[in-house]
Structure 1
Amino acid sequence: MQVGDLAKQSGASIRSLHYYEQMGVLQARRQPNGYREYDEQAIERVRWIRKLLGLGLSLEDIRLLAPCFERNEAGEPLCSAAVAKYQRKLAEIDEQMRELQELRERIQRYLKTASPQEKEMYL
Structure 2
Amino acid sequence: MRIGEAASRAGASTKAVRYYESLGLVSAPRLANGYRDYDERQVRRIGEIRGLVRLGIPAEQTRPFLDCLDAGMAAGDDCPASLDTYRAAIADLDRRLTELADRRDTLAARLADATARSTPRCLFTPTEEHV
TM-score of the superposed pair, with normalisation by structure 2: 0.75
- 2:82 equivalent in structure 1: 82
- 1:57 equivalent in structure 2: 57
- 1:11 equivalent in structure 2: 11
- 1:38 equivalent in structure 2: 38
- Unaligned stretches of 5+ residues in structure 2: 123-131
Number of residue equivalences? 117
1:70-99, Cα deviation, whole Å (9 max, x unpaired) = 457426973222222211211111111111
Contact between 2:26 and 2:42, CA under 8 Å: does it hold in 1? yes
Contact between 1:71 and 1:78, CA under 8 Å: does it hold in 2? no
Sequence identity (%): 34
- 1:104 equivalent in structure 2: 104
Higher helix share: 1
| Local SS of the residue matching 2:62 | helix
Task: Point out 4+ residue stretches in structure 1 off by more than 4 angstroms.
Answer: 69-73
- Bigger relative CO (Cα 8 Å, ≥ 6 apart): 1
Using the TM superposition, give the Cα deviation of residue 2 of structure 1 relative to its aligned residue in structure 2, in angstroms: 0.7
| Local SS of the residue matching 1:37 | coil
Tell me whether 33-42 or 92-101 shows the greater mean CA deviation: 33-42
Tell me whether 11-20 or 25-34 shows the greater mean CA deviation: 11-20
Amino acid at match of 1:50: R
1:15-71, Cα deviation, whole Å (9 max, x unpaired) = 211121121111211101111011133333222111111222222211244212445
- 1:120 equivalent in structure 2: none
TM-score of the superposed pair, with normalisation by structure 1: 0.79
Amino acid at match of 1:89: A
RMSD: 2.4
- Unaligned stretches of 5+ residues in structure 1: 118-123
